[in-house]
Structure 1
Amino acid sequence: MKEKSMNPSLQLILDIAEKLILEKGCRNTTLQEIAVQGGLTKGAIYHYVKSKDELFALILEAGQQQANQRFIDSVSDTASQKTGPLGPFESLSRSLHNLAGRENAANLIFIYLLSQKDSPAVTDILNRYYEASIQMTKRWIEVGKQHKAIPEYINEENAARMFAVFKNGLQIQNVLAPESGKIPDRDLYQFLLNALGVKDTSSQER
């Protein structure tokens, strides 16, 4: 995914695309309809992307950036003592729930692109998305170590890839089998702590 500078026109295109995806699904969302609803021409969209799949890739990228910013903000709140030391993990568990829900366009895009994986261009998008997720999670773990919230012995690479397996599985479950029920926030939170060897002493302090 090539980095695109965000500006009002591109943000409008992404917002309309997300709205249509939630209403009609990825397959039935077209660049033509996005252009019409935004009062734009298809040429305006092609200024930023070459295809619908590439536009979808930008939405995935924007979702990653938002998740990263929420984590950074939660670390900042912890550093300023606005939240407890495990605040970033609570932020991660909420991000997982938001990302994996059927009401999240990025999740629907991820599932849609998986179904198009026989296309080399889509395979490239998915690979880039996956590796970007790994690198972002590794940075989160490094930040956790710096703040003494994650033990030093945790291997960033292995933990990040295990986190990706869990996240992707959760995404697929919530789209293909929503009737199985959502995993409660608290359970997700505990899973993250256990996977990273972090002790939750909050219940003991009450």
Structure 2
Amino acid sequence: MQDKAMNDSLKKLLEIAEEMIMEKGCRATTLQDIADRSGLTKGAIYHYVKSKDELFGMILEAGMEKTNQRFFESVARTPAGPEGIKSPLNTLTERLRNIGSGDSATSLIFIYLLSQQDKPAVAGILKRYHEASILTAKTWIEVGQQNGAIPISIDADRTARMFTVFKNGLQVQHNIVTDGDKINELEIYEFLMNALGGAGRG
């Protein structure tokens, strides 16, 4: 996470920022609000970040790291072979469903930062997030291939890029479609299965 150690103070800072984003939205949430609720001074916050946008970027990265951890925990509990992909895919499906619901700080932050992408610093945050998303997804696919759960013929890099486009689309969808038109959990799972060459199907 931008080479910043996740100590207790930083973890608390991110958690409080997420809470306030869900309560007030990204634009209305200020570093002063976060400082007041956390009990930290703005100077202490500036020890970790240079701006609110950078703090929001760290929340995106932290969310990705949590998903990555859950994925590998799921992989460790499952057998090798095609059946072994189901539990990790369920983990990713749940995460994507939450992102697509619009009820997550991650989605709100992503949309907010996109609206600020004309700022060079924000463009850099989005680029790092996009590249990290691709690299993380590629790692997941390669782990599946190493364990015989995903066909070796699948192009890990290309599929990871497509996965990232899909994830980004889910983060946007709650702003432009009605509830009845949103992609549901089963559709997300089927997309992942199809993208991975029907891995895990009997």
Which TM-score band (shorter chain)? over 0.9
Deviations 1:40-98, CA, capped at 9 Å, x for gaps: 110010010000000001101100100101110110110499x8542111111111112
In structure 2, distance between residues paired with 1:178 and 1:9 = 39
Q: 1:168 to 1:152 in 2, by over 3 A?
A: same
Deviation at 1:99, TM superposition (A): 2.2
| Cross-structure match for 1:177 | 177
Q: Is the contact between residue 21 and residue 29 of structure 2 (CA under 8 Å) also seen in structure 1?
A: yes
Q: TM-score, normalised by structure 1?
A: 0.92
- The residue identity in structure 2 corresponding to 1:63 is G
| Cross-structure match for 2:75 | 75
Q: TM-score, normalised by structure 2?
A: 0.93
Gap regions ≥5 residues in structure 1? none
Q: Is the contact between residue 108 and residue 175 of structure 1 (CA under 8 Å) also seen in structure 2?
A: no
Residue 144 in structure 1 maps to residue 144 in structure 2: yes
Gap regions ≥5 residues in structure 2? none
The worse-fitting range, judged by mean Cα deviation, of 72-81 and 187-196 is 72-81
In structure 2, distance between residues paired with 1:132 and 1:199 = 24
- Residue aligned with 1:86, SS: helix
Deviation at 1:183, TM superposition (A): 2.1
Q: 1:198 to 1:126 in 2, by over 3 A?
A: same
In structure 1, distance between residues paired with 2:3 and 2:191 = 33
Map 1:71-150 onto structure 2 (within 5 A).
Answer: 71-79=71-79, 84-150=84-150
How many residues are matched?
Answer: 201
- The CA RMSD measured in Å over matched residues stands at 1.8
- The residue identity in structure 2 corresponding to 1:12 is K
Q: Is the contact between residue 25 and residue 108 of structure 1 (CA under 8 Å) also seen in structure 2?
A: yes
- Residue aligned with 1:61, SS: helix
In structure 2, distance between residues paired with 1:117 and 1:135 = 22
Deviation at 1:176, TM superposition (A): 3.2
| Cross-structure match for 1:32 | 32
| Cross-structure match for 2:193 | 193
- Residue aligned with 2:123, SS: helix
Deviation at 1:201, TM superposition (A): 3.4
Q: Is the contact between residue 149 and residue 198 of structure 1 (CA under 8 Å) also seen in structure 2?
A: no
Deviation at 1:100, TM superposition (A): 2.4
In structure 2, distance between residues paired with 1:16 and 1:96 = 22
Deviation at 1:199, TM superposition (A): 4.1
| Cross-structure match for 1:22 | 22
